[in-house]
Amino acid sequence: MKESMINVIVTAGGTSEPIDNVRRIANTGTGRLGSLIAEELAADAMVGHIFYVCAKDSFRPVSEKAVCVEIESVSDLQAAVTELMEKNEIHGIIHSMAVSDYTVRSVTTVESLVDFLANDTTNDMKEKILKGMDQTDIRSGGGKLSSQMKSPLLLLEPTPKIISMFRKMAPQAVIVGFKLLSNVSKENLFDTAYRLLIKNDCDYVLANDAKEIDADHHHAYLLDREKNSQTFDTKTEIAKGIADIVLREVKRK
């Protein structure tokens, strides 16, 4: 690979967070769009490597320029992108992966929580419930939870926002974020997507609504920092649109 070659990270598919060693909370991204974007990028002669960070069951690009890095959880994702950016000069980051917003903080049962509440003297109810959830956590190191519980209760907590880390890791990179909402107005979708762009210092954000995605169509808007937008109707159009704009920006820099 020549020094002047363009390297891009594409994240694709969905992450998942463990409940125990056989159950996970999974985001249902398939990686289809991400793999198409990777193929479009690979078609450009100036592109050296595409580091394709994806889940085990994700669609993958077939191009030989694609280097697949398999991950499961958000912390795996963080470790993978950190290492990639330490070891390689990265010119573009296309973050299409559906990243878990929540990980599992504790697992208990309503019955155990009620027992705890009856015997604990904490006054603040929120604090008391959180304490009870943590102290009655029934996960043991790496085991499998019983299948005989009546009322299992899972307490979740937010995961770190990986997208917020990219700009610091790769100040010069062209960064594309993704925002998927479900059944909202176009105005709401644009506002939410644009806030994500600004907050995380992205160059572009792909805004889409689950209600406008089916087997044959995928309606989406690519917004830039000036809130200009391009509209696409299929995954192939989206993939071409994103690859073109990212490569044009990278070459211009």
Q: Residue 251 to residues 20, 230, 240, 248: CA-CA distances in angstroms? A: 46, 20, 16, 5
Using the rule CB under 8 A, is 165 a contact of a copy of itself? no
181 interacts with a copy of itself by CB under 8 A: yes
Q: Which CB, 111 or 244, lies closer to a copy of itself?
A: 111
Nearer CB in complex with a copy of itself: 6/133: 133
Under rule CB under 8 A, residue 5 binds a copy of itself: no
C-alpha to C-alpha distance for 60 and 83, rounded to whole angstroms: 20
Query: Which residues have C-beta within 8 Å of that of residue 199, sequence separation ≥ 6?
Result: 164
Q: Residue 33 carries which side chain, given as an amino acid letter?
A: L
Hey, which residues between 114 and 143 contact a copy of itself (CB under 8 A)? 114, 117-118, 125-126, 129-130, 133, 142-143
Q: Which helix (H) or strand (E) holds 127?
A: helix 125-135
Nearer to a copy of itself, 88 or 109 (CB): 109
User: Is 45 a residue that touches a copy of itself (CB under 8 A)?
Assistant: no
Burial class (CB in 10 A: 0-12, 13-18, 19+), 187: exposed
Please answer whether residues 102 and 156 qualify as being in contact, where contact means their C-beta atoms are separated by less than 8 angstroms.
yes
Contacts to a copy of itself from residues 57-116, by CB under 8 A? 57, 98, 100-102, 110-111, 113-114
User: Applying CB under 8 A, which residues contact a copy of itself?
Assistant: 16, 19, 21-29, 57, 98, 100-102, 110-111, 113-114, 117-118, 125-126, 129-130, 133, 142-144, 147, 149-158, 180-183, 210
